Amino acid sequence: MPSHNPRAALQTHDVTNQPPPFVDVNAFANDAALIDAIERNGGAAHANRLSDFGDRVGSAEAQEWADQANRNPPKLKSFDRYGHRLDEVEFHPAYHMLMDLGLSGGVAAAAWRTDIAGHVLHSGLLFLMGQADGGVCCPMSMTYAAVPALRHAPDVAETWVPRATTEDYDARFLPAEMKRAATIGMAMTEKQGGSDVRANTTRAEQTTDGWALTGHKWFCSAPMCDAFLTLAQTEEGVTCFLVPRWKPDGSRNAIHIMRLKDKLGDRSNASSEIEYHGAYAIKLGQQGKGVRTIIDMVQHTRLDCVVGSAGGMRVALANALWHTEHRRAFQKKLIDQPAMQRVLADLILESEGATALAFRLARAFDRAGEDEAEAGFMRLATPIAKYWICKRQPGFVYEALECHGGAGFVEESTMPRYFRASPLNAIWEGSGNVIALDILRAVQRDPQTLEAVVSDVVKARGRNAKFDAHAKRLMGWLDPGALNEGTARAFAEDMGLALAGAALADSTENGGAPEFVFDGYCAARLDPDTRGYGYGASDALVDEHSLIMRAAPF
């Protein structure tokens, strides 16, 4: 735990002008943008639950767990002292405390346990959990997203969905039927194919009691999960399987962890390379339809990429606001310096837009089953938001880090951890070109998805001239040949900006975000004449003071 009452009067100097620790701050109650987004998208009934969770996440205890879990990374134990094969990963106790905090708090299960804005609730919990530690969010997200894929096999879902949707955490390495709750991971990509999963070479052969998988997986995140969704080739093509850590007879399944990845990002979680050596597996969905089966999981983890990046922006911003409020330079608090105010206000606008769009997307997930327009919106807006918001996170976090000066570059600060993690969501579940091409395919295969997305933009017109001008420019993408593989990224940027603006307009119109947020976003992001290349470089007229007061976590 942090030292109490450290000495400030030293032999050579007194320690002054240093901010207090940014702990014991309710991450929900002090985030007006998040509160507005939850309420606007149908989640008002969950406000008390989210506030309680935000209090836990922002506590000194949870922040200390995050620090310890990242300073003591997981270790692979391939064998025991006698040479028996183990394939286990050891974690620091703080990791398990964080896992318990999130899973018992409902990050993985809540969406499937309520009839009221379940995905908005899940997104709120995930948004907050990442502000304690993003690494542990990986197995939570995969467990949440596995549910729709499991439902492709009703008999499998009957057994595994209750395990995945129990609000509890059981760290014991035991067969799933002996545990209080289970986590589910994924092992998809291989060395030769990467995102091209149809190039996978892992083979599946039918046996008397199921299927046996043989092959390798280049990325297997959270290798201590109780089961993994994976893809393998059968005679009919790529097929989806569930691979439990234990076989039905109670013996360890033949999943060999070859090594842990030495990766950029959070160090609390383990990512690995694995091999299947005739591993027992259960088929999900039809043979040869594995990509179709797994895409339901991918769609939900992409939502989490969007929400996670929006949450990562918020925690970086909150730290920057805290530091500049409590640090003085040239006889003024940093937060009162005009140059710093311009940077902070610009960051706030970015964070507001990301949060508004992330939860508008979560609302579409809640309504897609009963509303065709929302289903179309979800299909296209998910990769658009994944592309735009996740791409914005690294530059955003860097700028928030720079607000701390040199102190933000020191590993004792939380900022380097947030910065290391910031590129992840833009890469996970499809890097930039993969997502851009997915956007292109969605438009070409089902033009109604574009109609659904454009409808949100159209609804927001008439409130701000700069937004209206941007919306008009979007119509150029409807010209024959305008949208192609070479222009798909530009289309994603234009649409990402428009959808974030539309989400803010929707919030403003319905009593959520104040008018100065929407107007400021339009001025700083949608006007080509005032848009700056770096944060704080725009000469747009925005209400900096009001933006800072709204976003301040104090």
Which tens digits make up the pLDDT trace of 454-508?
Answer: 999 999 999 999 999 999 999 999 899 999 999 999 999 999 999 999 999 999 9
Q: What is the pLDDT of residue 198?
A: 83
Residue 408 CA to residue 320 CA, distance in Å, equals 9
Which is higher by pLDDT, 531 or 180? 180
Domain boundary assignment for the chain: 32-288, 292-551
Q: What is the pLDDT of residue 195?
A: 79
- Tell me whether strands 75-79 and 184-187 are parallel, antiparallel or unpaired: unpaired
Q: What is the pLDDT of residue 197?
A: 84
Residue 212 CA to residue 209 CA, distance in Å, equals 9
Domains 32-288 and 292-551 share a fold: no
Ramachandran area for residue 442 (φ above 0: left; ψ -120 to 50: alpha; else beta): alpha
Q: Is the per-residue pLDDT at 372 higher than 60?
A: yes
Return the structure tokens found at 343: 């940077």
Q: Is the per-residue pLDDT at 4 higher than 80?
A: no
- The SS3 of residue 260 is strand
By C-alpha distance, which of 172, 153, 150, 173 is closest to 162? 150
Instruction: Please check whether residue 88 is in contact with residue 224, taking contact to mean a CB–CB distance below 8 angstroms.
Output: yes
Instruction: Please check whether residue 283 is in contact with residue 205, taking contact to mean a CB–CB distance below 8 angstroms.
Output: no
Q: 55 pairs with which residues across the strands?
A: none
Place of tokens 């992409």: 302
Return the structure tokens found at 319: 């730290």
Q: Is the per-residue pLDDT at 3 higher than 70?
A: no
* Topology, domain 292-551: Butyryl-CoA Dehydrogenase, subunit A; domain 3 (1.20.140)
**DSSP code of residue 21:** P
**DSSP code of residue 523:** I
By C-alpha distance, which of 288, 177, 275 is closest to 220? 275
- Tell me whether strands 203-207 and 210-221 are parallel, antiparallel or unpaired: antiparallel
Q: What is the pLDDT of residue 2?
A: 56
Q: For the chain, how big is the Rg over CA atoms in Å? A: 24
Q: Which residue type does 225 have?
A: C
By C-alpha distance, which of 137, 131, 98 is closest to 29? 131
Residue 47 CA to residue 120 CA, distance in Å, equals 11
- Tell me whether strands 210-221 and 271-284 are parallel, antiparallel or unpaired: antiparallel
Residue 359 CA to residue 374 CA, distance in Å, equals 13
By C-alpha distance, which of 194, 195, 192, 165 is closest to 180? 165
- The SS3 of residue 422 is coil
Return the structure tokens found at 33: 């943008």
Instruction: Please check whether residue 297 is in contact with residue 227, taking contact to mean a CB–CB distance below 8 angstroms.
Output: no
DSSP 238-250: EEEEEEESB-TTS
Residue 447 CA to its chain's centroid (Å) = 28
Return the structure tokens found at 210: 């199921």
**Largest separation between any pair of C-alpha atoms in the chain:** 78
- pLDDT category at 518 given cuts 50, 70, 90 is very high
Distance set, CA 169 to CA 58, 75, 102, 107, 173 (Å):
20, 20, 9, 11, 12
Residues 190-227 have pLDDT tens digits of: 999 777 888 899 999 999 989 999 999 999 989 999 99
Instruction: Please check whether residue 280 is in contact with residue 154, taking contact to mean a CB–CB distance below 8 angstroms.
Output: no
Q: What percentage of the chain carries pLDDT values higher than 90?
A: 91
Summary mean pLDDT of the chain:
95
Q: What is the pLDDT of residue 5?
A: 77
For the chain, what is the total number of helices (H) and then of strands (E)? 18, 11
Residue 331 CA to residue 87 CA, distance in Å, equals 58
Residues 316-358 have pLDDT tens digits of: 999 999 999 999 999 899 999 999 999 999 999 999 999 999 9
Q: What is the pLDDT of residue 510?
A: 85
Instruction: Please check whether residue 63 is in contact with residue 268, taking contact to mean a CB–CB distance below 8 angstroms.
Output: no
**DSSP code of residue 79:** E
- The phi and psi torsions of 233 (rounded to 5 degrees) equal -90, 130
Write out the H or E segment, with its range, that includes residue 234.
strand 227-234
* Topology, domain 32-288: Butyryl-CoA Dehydrogenase, subunit A; domain 2 (2.40.110)
- pLDDT category at 532 given cuts 50, 70, 90 is confident
Instruction: Please check whether residue 141 is in contact with residue 425, taking contact to mean a CB–CB distance below 8 angstroms.
Output: no
Instruction: Please check whether residue 233 is in contact with residue 243, taking contact to mean a CB–CB distance below 8 angstroms.
Output: no
Any residues with CB less than 8 A from the CB of 83 and at least 6 apart, and which? none
**Alpha-helical regions (H) of 368-487:** 372-402, 415-421, 424-427, 432-445, 447-459, 465-474
Question: Per-residue pLDDT averaged across 241-254, rounded?
Answer: 97
Q: Is the per-residue pLDDT at 1 higher than 60?
A: no
- Tell me whether strands 184-187 and 227-234 are parallel, antiparallel or unpaired: parallel
